[in-house]
Amino acid sequence: MELKRIVSMGIMVGLCWLGISESTRAQEVAKDTNVVEEQIQVEIMADSTVPEALVRERLAKLENVIPLRYHKVTHQFVEYFIYRKPSFVKRMLEQMHLYFPLYEQMLEKYEMPRELKFLSLIESGLNPRIISYAGAGGLWQFMPATGREYGMKQDDYIDERFDPAKSTEAACKYLKRLHRAFGDWEMALAAYNVGPGNVKRAMRRSGSSTFWGIYNFLPKQTRHYVPQFVAMTYLMHYHADHGIFPETPDYPMLFDTIQVSGYFNLHTFAKLSNISLDEFYKLNPQVINTELPATTKEYMLKVPSHNFDFFRENRVAIWDSATKSPFQSHMLLAGNESDVSDSVLAIKKVGGLVAAGDENEDPETIITRQTRKVYHTVRRGETLGKIASRYGVDTYDLKRWNHLRGNNIVRGKRLVLYKETTKHAGGQVTASSKGKIKMRYHRVQPGDTLSTIAERYGINVSRLKKINRLKGNTVRKGQKLIIG
């Protein structure tokens, strides 16, 4: 990543530029002024209150694929977060639900260690719009050149380093590449922080190929990077034992999508749609301007579901005001595809506004989505990931429903799941229902991938592939996919 860390420990939370102003790319200082630049002594405190034996024992229990080695520096970070920055840990606990389901889905897709999700905490503090003074941006802190290398668009209007799905997928690819290069996860993490070239130089100077062997030959912030990751992994599991609890957990906002082509004034649209700018940019962190240019083609934007009915009813007036000319561009509406209990979705084609699905569908489709509780008894050889994939749910939800901390499950354990059922025109739709079954479709747009489509409609990638009988992971523009 070759980042120049602001804080000597590599903690960049709250020290970066956030938000959108009225100018094209203006930035404002981060609002969280409680997190400030601090110099931390890395020696173990003489009056340490967390027993070394306890930290050693717990790290050994937590270790999965990535080594979680005990070291005095790691111990110092554990106590630093407990006693000096418990507010940071608390905030991570409150915000993790916004991104951990996405992280876990991507890590499973690329067969990566699940504990890598904690790396984003020390990279960005789970702030998708954060940017360092060195220019690294997003949840995974990509420098501009590296972001472009991994296919993330960056111009005066859009910076896809701030897009949670695209940046997480890029981070998985980059970390996997680094692990192949060094054959060691600790070394891969160090290279993610300071760049593979600097790690290789430290290897040549030290004559070692392990992280602790090259430790004294690395920049100070990189020496602290791996211990920070280990300490944060510890705290995310044992925070309650140290009196740190989330108070106001944040969860993903339910959203619908609109597809925009041509010039579009985002602030005018938000104001007339009764959408707050905070909500709009929270749902669309990759948008870094107040407008989209006339060259925009089929760009997907998220809007809060609670505003969608108002927007749909007033779309003509809103559209006329938000565009330079209503004849220069068009917009497609897509309905709420989030997994919601007892929600009602209404999609309507009127004039130049058409549903982003099957163009031959009836003018109006009303679908009621409900959930039902089902049980699954764990069989030999099954994992949480396989069970989640089988039922088309996220691993994170499966763990949350069953109050599971880790990913280990025993044969014979009874798990509870919540499956979604669909009612159409007053009756439940099943495979055995008589008459026509109304299916939902998605027409593949430029830049779409299976993962972004799955995220958009709140379904599992493996389920999307299964119902469309896809063997690979590629889709082509214009391809019609069954959503469910």
With a CB cutoff of 8 Å and minimum separation 6, the contacts of 373 are 416, 417, 418, 419
Mean pLDDT is lowest, of 61-75, 132-146, 332-346, 456-470, for 332-346
For residue 411, the number of C-alpha atoms closer than 13 Å in the C-beta half-sphere is: 3
Tell the residue number behind the tokens 């920070």, with chain if given: 228
pLDDT of residue 371: 52
Q: In this structure, what is the dihedral angle of CA atoms 474, 477, 479, 483, given to the nearest 10 degrees?
A: 70
pLDDT of residue 424: 38
pLDDT of residue 250: 92
344-369 mean pLDDT: 29
Whether residue 73 contacts residue 224, with contact meaning beta carbons closer than 8 Å, is answered with: yes
**Percentage of the chain lying above the pLDDT 70 cut:** 73
- Domain coordinates of the chain in residue numbers? 17-242, 255-334, 370-482
Pick from 219, 199, 218, 220: nearest CA to 209: 199
Q: Per-residue confidence at 404, pLDDT binned at 50, 70, 90?
A: confident
For residue 134, pLDDT beyond 60: yes
Mean pLDDT is lowest, of 31-35, 228-232, 468-472, for 31-35
As given in the structure block, the two tokens for residue 442 are 């998605």
pLDDT tens digits, one per residue of 179-197: 999 999 999 999 999 999 9
Residue 88, φ and ψ in degrees, nearest 5: -65, -45
- Sequence letter at residue 313: E
d(CA 392, CA 462): 8
Helix intervals (H) in 363-438: 384-391, 395-401
pLDDT tens digits, one per residue of 253-288: 999 999 998 899 999 999 999 999 889 999 999 999
217-229 mean pLDDT: 93
pLDDT of residue 35: 28
How many beta carbons lie within 10 A of that of residue 267, not counting itself? 15
pLDDT of residue 440: 66
DSSP type of residue 154? B
Query: β-strands 331-334, 354-355: how paired?
Result: parallel
Pick from 439, 403, 463, 1: nearest CA to 199: 1
pLDDT tens digits, one per residue of 331-354: 555 544 333 333 223 323 222 222
For residue 70, pLDDT beyond 90: yes
For residue 64, pLDDT beyond 70: yes
d(CA 225, CA 123): 9
Class of 370-482 in CATH: alpha beta
H-run or E-run covering 124: helix 119-124
Query: 3-state DSSP call for residue 331?
Result: strand
DSSP states along 19-79 = S--SSSS--EE-S-TTS-------SPPTT--S-HHHHHHHHHHH-SSS-----HHHHHHHH
- Confirm whether 298 is a catalytic residue: no
373-390 mean pLDDT: 86
For residue 429, pLDDT beyond 50: no
For residue 89, pLDDT beyond 90: yes
Q: Model's pTM, two decimal places? A: 0.62
Helix intervals (H) in 392-441: 395-401
**Percentage of the chain lying above the pLDDT 90 cut:** 48
Class of 17-242 in CATH: mainly alpha
For residue 27, pLDDT beyond 60: no
d(CA 291, CA 159): 13
**Catalytic one of 123, 160, 337, 455:** 123
Q: How far is CA 220 from the centre of its chain?
A: 29
- Sequence letter at residue 193: N
d(CA 410, CA 377): 10
The residue that leads in pLDDT, 397 or 279, is 279
Distances in whole angstroms, Cα of residue 161 to Cα of each of 107, 155, 209? 18, 11, 31
